[in-house]
Amino acid sequence: MRRATRTRSRASWLKRAVIATSLALIAPLCTAVVGTVPTASAAFNPDGFDFWVDTEMGPIKSRIFRAADGNTDRVVYALDGMRARDDLNGWEIETEVSRALTAANINVVMPVGGQSSFYLDWATRSTFLGLDSLGGSSTGSAAIGSAAIGSAVAPTDVAGKRNRYVWETTLTQTLPAALQSQLGFSRTNNGVFGLSMGGSAALTLAAYYPQQFSFAGSFSGFLNISAPGMREALRAAMISAGGFNIDAMATPWSPQWLRIDPFVFAPQLQANGTRLWVAAGSALPGPGDISGPAEVVQGMPLEALSLAGTRAFELRMRSIGANNITYSYPATGIHNWKNWENEVYQMIPDLSAHIG
């Protein structure tokens, strides 16, 4: 009996040691690929209201901003980045895009939550070597993860850890059905856009749900995730952004992994005739982009990574004759909200012309 207890203790210790060692090895990479660098602070917008739906993940909130003319046919979904919070969507916290969109007579749906989810239906809930959290505690303590990467790890009772992420189902079935029945919002010819993680997700949703999404915008998205080194870069980022395990989302080179790679499913977007707006900054800072070392260490390398994948995606689309796309490559711009907010303002006329 004692021997069995010692064996279990040794196995538990080994799991923690492996995790700690792995995190220590990828910590430098996390510094470069960790999430976003905020440069604005719009915060709560009283023009919006909370809209809740019950899902397999539990109650999920969205923030709704109504079109100025009161129409219900023109709808756009605004997706957050990898460090999505559970109180407000980053587009509301950091930008004023909701006001510009509603002034253009577009209803805005901002889903709240989904940290590191890529807005997908995951294969399973997130664990590491059988442990519920990086620190191995069922209470959400994450000492190992916090020490290794200098970032708070989401507790184990959040969606994606206590249960499986089902964001794709939520955004294409549960939420639009509720919006239609309660607010009269159209479920067809909607738009969807997002930044970073949300940019990749916007193209994924448009590829597989063309009736719902006739327009998709990606800002600094990861559009070639099967490129060498990309999976491990995203693995590091997802550990930093909440302590989520990429293998729970999709195992390496599985059909699910290839299904969510924009470079792979590019022909589907062409076949759908989806109108796209695809953007990435140069990774060179412009006026006001640099206010401290974080922008240099995080914002510039991550935008360079996004730019490389976006350029590869462009070549892929051009190689198959896809031309229903606007590409935007500003001369300056790093991985931050200033860059993404500016892109939305430029995109609005094109979005407006292709939804509803």
| CA distance linking residue 279 with residue 329, whole number of Å | 6
Entry pTM? 0.85
Q: Which CATH architecture has domain 34-124+164-225+260-353?
A: 3-Layer(aba) Sandwich (3.40)
pLDDT, greater one: 3 or 126: 126
Q: How many CB atoms lie within 10 A of CB 248?
A: 19
Instruction: Give, in order, the Cα–Cα distances in Å from 329 to each of 12, 141, 203, 274, 282.
Output: 49, 42, 18, 20, 7
Cα–Cα dist 72/74, whole Å: 6
- Over residues 131-186, the pLDDT tens digits come to 776 654 333 333 223 333 334 578 887 899 999 999 999 999 999 999 999 999 99
Paired with 192 in beta bridges are 77, 216
Active-site choice (168, 303, 314, 341): 303
Separation between Cα atoms, residue 236 and residue 31, nearest integer Å: 9
Any catalytic annotation for residue 354? Answer: no
Question: Is the distance from CB of 306 to CB of 222 less than 8 angstroms?
Answer: yes
- Cα gap 89→45, rounded to integer Å: 11
Q: What is the pLDDT of residues 274-290, one digit of tens each?
A: 999 999 998 788 776 66
Confidence class for position 294, pLDDT limits 50, 70, 90: low
Residues 186, 335, 341, 343: which is the catalytic one? 335
Confidence (pLDDT) at 53: 98
What's the order of all strands across the beta sheet hosting 190-195? 49-55, 58-65, 107-111, 75-79, 190-195, 213-219, 275-279, 325-328
User: Does residue 59 have a pLDDT over 90?
Assistant: yes
Tokens of 32: 């470069």
Which among 56, 45, 55, 83 has a CA at the least distance from the CA of 198? 83
Q: Establish whether 343 is a catalytic residue.
A: no
Residue at 336: amino acid letter: N
List, for residues 34-56, the tens digit of each pLDDT value. 344 334 446 889 999 999 999 99
Given 22, 117, 196, 218, which residue is catalytic? 196
At 143 the pLDDT is 29
Confidence of residue 22 (pLDDT cuts 50, 70, 90): very low
Cα–Cα–Cα angle for 350, 52, 88, nearest 5°? Answer: 65
Identify the pLDDT of residue 152: 54
Helix (H) or strand (E) holding 55: strand 49-55
Judge contact between 231 and 225, C-beta under 8 A: yes
Q: pLDDT tens, 325-339?
A: 999 999 988 888 999
Using CA atoms of 120, 280, 39, 171 in order, give the dihedral in degrees to the nearest 10: -20
**Cβ count within 10 A of residue 43:** 9
Active site residue 335: yes
